[in-house]
Chains A and B, each alone.
With several copies, the nearest count.
Chain A
Amino acid sequence: MAVVLQSQPFDPGQLLGGFCPNRRETGAVASFTGLARAEHGAALTLELEAYPGFTDAAIEAMAAGAAKRFDLQDWLIVHRTGPIAPGEAIVFVATAAGHRRAAFEACDHLMDWLKSRAPFWKKEHGPDGARWIEPTDHDRRDAARWDDPFFDTPAERAAQDD
């Protein structure tokens, strides 16, 4: 159970390789790797800013809550900061649980939160200059799926919505 913020590139394979071994009661490990897209030339570099001590504490608190909610056995979140080239990994999330539904939902939930609510600031440098990227409405809706404490899963929540 760890949050790592780092400016150096990381290898998602190495992280998953370190996360999986020596588990005797883990049936399921889900992982997500977010990569920087080139956007067909429109994105030359992505630049991510964090607030050390604040960003990692916010992620840690959020992940601890998700671990409790989904009964996770373990989790790992690694996030790049600084300039990131197309094709490089931005974020890696792994979750370990007894069964696959919990591992998948927790990983999905952590990513929705990271995409729209984690304290990062993201700038895209393209051929026509730089622009700050803020969460889309879609990102906000994805994150809001997990907000209602009365519903445990996105499916249950969706069932109630209509």
Chain B
Amino acid sequence: MARVLLFGRLADVAGWRERTIEAASLSALRTALATADPGLGEALAGPSVQAAVDKALVRGDAALTPASEVAFLPPMSGG
């Protein structure tokens, strides 16, 4: 279980911004998202998309708990 947040163009691709999804790890979550929506799976796999777990950037895999918040972040553009 994890609260999943999509930002920027990722939310447009998926058609949603926030969902609760069953997954024990970040890699399992990516697989579940790609299975349900291959277009989103491809968008998430891009090298410029970063993942944050509980508001900290994560490279590679990470374990998730039911309280985890996972955010997928496309390239940032401030100001």
Q: Which residues of A contact B (CB under 8 A)?
A: 34, 49, 51, 53-54, 57, 79, 90-91, 111, 113-123, 132-135, 139
Contacts and interface: CB of A to CB of B under 8 A. Distances in A.
Nearest to B76: A119
Contact of B74 (A113, A116, A121): A121
B77 A134 contact: yes
Interface string B47-79: 000001001000000000000000101111111
Contact of B52 (A54, A79, A114, A115): A54
A121 B7 contact: yes
Given A51-B71, A54-B55, A57-B55, A118 B7 contact: no
Interface residues of B, number: 15
B76 A53 contact: no
A132 B79 contact: no
Interface of B: 5, 7-9, 12, 52, 55, 71, 73-79
Among B12, B52, B55, B79, chain A packs the most CB atoms within 10 A around the CB of B79
Contacts of A91: 78-79
Given A49-B8, A57-B55, A135-B77, 4 more contacts: A119-B78, A120-B76, A132-B12, A133-B77
Contacts, number: 61
8 contacts: A51-B5, A54-B52, A91-B79, A114-B78, A118-B76, A120-B79, A121-B76, A132-B8
A122 B79 CA distance: 9
A79 B78 contact: yes
Given A49-B8, A53-B55, A121 B77 contact: yes
Contacts of B55: 51, 53-54, 57
Contacts of A135: 75-77
A134 B79 contact: no
A117 B76 contact: yes
Nearest to A113: B78
B57 to A, nearest CB: 9
- B8, B74, B75 — most chain A CB neighbours (10 Å): B8
